[in-house]
Chain A
Amino acid sequence: MFDFFFQFPVWVQAAIKGLAVILVIFPIAGVCSMAERKVAAWVQDRPGPNRAVVPWIAWIPVIGKFLQRLGVFHVMADGGKMLFKEDSTPGHVNKFYFIAAPLLAMVPALTTVAVVPFGAYFDDAGRTIPLILANLDVGLLAVFAISSLGVYSLILAGWASNSKYPFLGSVRASAQLISYELSMTLSILPVFLWINAPGSTGTLGLVRVVEFQSQSGLVGGAWFCFFMPISAFIFLVCLFAETNRQPFDTIESEADLVGSFHTEYGAFKWGLFFVAEYSHMIVGSGIFMLLFCGGWNPLPWLPLATLVGWLHHISGWAFTVHPLFVGIFSIAIFLGKVLAMIFFFMWIRWTVPRFRYDQVMKIGWRFLLPLSIANLLAYAVAIAFIQK
């Protein structure tokens, strides 16, 4: 049915797939900003944005009203405002780097998606074919390498703004992101020590991690967050710090830094920073889900293949084992888990107050880093004994 797609040259296929993924990520990042306002409102016992509505949708009896109350049209209103506002560039900035910074923020944020698998289907032989833009062996290493480039955009923005608060903010950003990258990388090493058992071909790919969590049996089906809760915890905390989220958003703390690195930005350039930040969050949540929460497997000890088998068994419909259905089904599961994770990000944001900058440094260097090293050593010894 879709054979024509595979007739295209490889680069056309890659471009189409890449565009499709970006076309999903970009709106989700936009909607996240709306969800943030809405979750904030609910936590604070108020209804939140609920006025904007498109006339012909308002005419639909119940659904129109529901969508309006949910505030979905405020996304368009916000986006429209951001697009059509005057995009001013202050006179005292370094124009080239000032304009380059938001673009540089977008590039790594959207590039990392390429090596993140977001679903899978099974071919006739029963093998798992992951849905991924580039199934590289370096996998996670590529994610870390590219996403850490994001800090350059913050530094450039702060420096090019040529004013003191953006500059302070960017100095903080560089220090914070570099500090937490250490513990983040160390915390996931036990996972890869475990899946790269002696005798198997080594890989840092995320597909392999999910395959490991999709096996049968009590041990095989368990997600890594059960085996390695400390790793998962450290990774999660570092994820909050790396994505500048509360309680680690000292980089943007408006109380002491005005707006930090985006103080001098407005309109569309400012919007790009935010879409980049939410894209980082989406990719980060995705990686957390892949590493520690079973990727596209719906529940621990219930891999996707089993669930699809049950569906086929109960309903008897042939399409439930069609690769297209399985692929979309797995993407839906994975996306659902990622969105749940993003909700958790927001939930934490409205619960925990912001750490002071020295506390952030203290937690990073004097708590998380020793903990992640100890964790790595403990698991290295244990895995050496188990796998001989």
Chain B
Amino acid sequence: MAVIQLERKPLTFAERTYLPQIIRGLKTTMKHLVAPAVTLEYPEQRPDIPDGYRGVPTLVKDPNGREKCVSCQLCEFVCPPKAIRITPGEIPPDAPGAHVEKAPQAFDIDMLRCIYCGLCQEVCPEEAIWLQKQYSMTGLTREEMVNHKDRLYELGGTLPDQHHKWDKKKAAEEHGNAH
């Protein structure tokens, strides 16, 4: 490529007085002065959170309302700040989801310890724990900042997947393997 030599012009008198630039600057600031504000007024106006945002970790249920967590405790072990504490529990044999065998008896996430790294979501084999769009986590006491199981499901809602992995497994056991 050919080199294009640009002529470096010396500053004109007007430029050296600095005044035309100031006037242009004044025009720019005046434009912004009359322009509407671009900021959100936070508590009343909330930002649109993009998909894939990693907010507060939550627990989800499947479309049939079964809690997806099987209390394998992988998230508890992977959690770097040790924010998760799970007490595993049995599912009573007469319950509709009895074939899943296990569910958490208690599931606590200490949000004062959580660093929002998302490793729990990544490690979960059941897609049961998700970092969702809630970004504002406040409380007046340390106890309030611990999310218990019911609160986690309340925040999490339902994951609209159609895997129904455990139901398929049960069906395969009962009717023989389709393959």
Contact = CB atoms under 8 A, between A and B. Distances in A.
Interface string B35-47: 1111101000000
Interface residues on chain B, size class: 10 to 19
Interface stretch (A84-92, A108-116, A167-175, A347-355): A347-355
B38 A45 contact: yes
Interface stretch (A36-44, A179-187, A192-200, A260-268): A36-44
Contact of A45 (B26, B30, B39, B41): B39
Interface residues on chain A, size class: 10 to 19
A347 B29 contact: yes
Nearest to B41: A47
Contacts of B36: 45
Nearest to B22: A352
Interface string A29-70: 000000000010111111100100000000000000000000
B22 A351 contact: yes
A50 B37 CA distance: 13
A351 B39 CA distance: 20
Contacts of B26: 347-348, 351
Contacts of B41: 47, 50
A45 B35 contact: yes
A347 B33 CA distance: 9
A46 B39 contact: yes
B25 A43 contact: no
Contacts of A42: 32-34, 37
Given A42-B32, A45-B32, A352 B37 contact: no
A-side interface mostly: loop
Interface in B1-36: 22, 25-26, 28-30, 32-36
B37 A351 contact: no
Interface in B55-111: none
Contacts of B38: 45-46
Nearest to B30: A347
Contact of B25 (A41, A46, A47, A352): A352
Contact of B39 (A47, A348, A350, A352): A47
A370 B30 CA distance: 32
Nearest to A353: B25
Interface in A306-352: 347-348, 350-352
Contacts of B25: 351-352
Contacts of A39: 33
Contacts of B37: 41-42, 45-47
Interface of B: 22, 25-26, 28-30, 32-39, 41
18 contacts: A42-B34, A42-B37, A43-B29, A43-B32, A43-B33, A44-B32, A45-B32, A46-B37, A47-B37, A47-B39, A347-B29, A348-B26, A350-B29, A351-B22, A351-B25, A351-B28, A351-B29, A352-B25
Interface of A: 39, 41-47, 50, 347-348, 350-352
Given A42-B34, A45-B36, 14 more contacts: A41-B37, A43-B33, A45-B32, A45-B35, A45-B37, A46-B37, A47-B39, A50-B41, A347-B29, A348-B22, A348-B26, A351-B25, A352-B22, A352-B25
3 residue pairs, one from A and one from B, having the closest CB atoms: A351-B25, A46-B39, A351-B29
